[in-house]
Amino acid sequence: MITRKQLVRLTENAIDTLITTFKATPYSFYTENDLHCYLYTQLLNGFSRKKWVCKTADDKESILLHKEYPTKERYSRKVLKEGLKKGSRGHFDLSIWNPEKTEERLFRVKQSTDFKREQQTFVAIEFDLIEGNDGLDQAIHHLKMDLLKLRSLKNEIERGYSLVLVRDWIHTDKFLKKIRDEVAEEQEIVILYAERNRDQKIVGTLSQKPFLNYKRLF
């Protein structure tokens, strides 16, 4: 079985590889989904398939790594509110289940109110690719929604990562200025910012949570 420590090491090394690639050739990725797929492949190839395999309490054979795995909390994306009884569940761009709990929990619950019996998302990764004429308010809203999901106690995340990747965007300075108060004191989630414009390359963390040897930008 893969240990949680091994999963964290693999996750952070894979993120580092993604950031290095983006910094060197940002247009290798056509869409945000390309970023998801790249990191998913890096993670999956980090161990043999046999090590990724797990069994669930309802006797399903699965693997620990999943794309678009649902949150346990319900949200109103429009007003950034959680704890709703009738709101929609969110989804994590990439997630890794807790290998120590898979046999205690179900692959998928039948009743929509019994989310606690679903797998624990040990690692959750959110992406935000921003470029060109993308709106400033939309980018800020996207980041706040990602952080809302990653911070939620109900979602049980132990390792949360928010990856903000920016290329040739017209609002970079305003974006960093406006989100500073939102993220600068964050101590539990890694918020990693990578910017590649024609004239500069910037990579660093926006939160207080340390990540490898990356320096804080705030």
Which residue in the block uniquely carries the two structure tokens 């990191």? 39
Residue 55 belongs to some domain of the structure: yes
Residue 70 belongs to some domain of the structure: yes
Residue 205 belongs to some domain of the structure: no
pLDDT, one tens digit per residue, over 24-58 is 999 999 999 999 999 999 999 999 999 999 999 99
Q: Is the pLDDT of residue 114 over 90?
A: no
Task: Give the domain range for residue 144.
Answer: 4-196
Residue 183 belongs to some domain of the structure: yes
Q: Among positive and negative, which fits the CA dihedral 26, 29, 33, 39?
A: negative
Residue 81 belongs to some domain of the structure: yes
> pTM to 2 decimals?
0.96
Q: Which phi-psi region, left, alpha or beta, contains residue 115 (left: φ > 0; alpha: ψ -120 to 50)?
A: alpha
pLDDT, one tens digit per residue, over 154-204 is 999 999 999 999 999 999 999 999 999 999 899 999 999 999 998 789 999
In terms of Cα–Cα distance, which of 59, 132, 123, 67 is closest to 97? 123
Number of domains in the chain: 1
Rounded-to-integer distance, Cα 54 and Cα 103, Å: 8
pLDDT, one tens digit per residue, over 129-146 is 999 999 999 999 999 999
Residue 100 belongs to some domain of the structure: yes
The SS3 of residue 218 is: coil
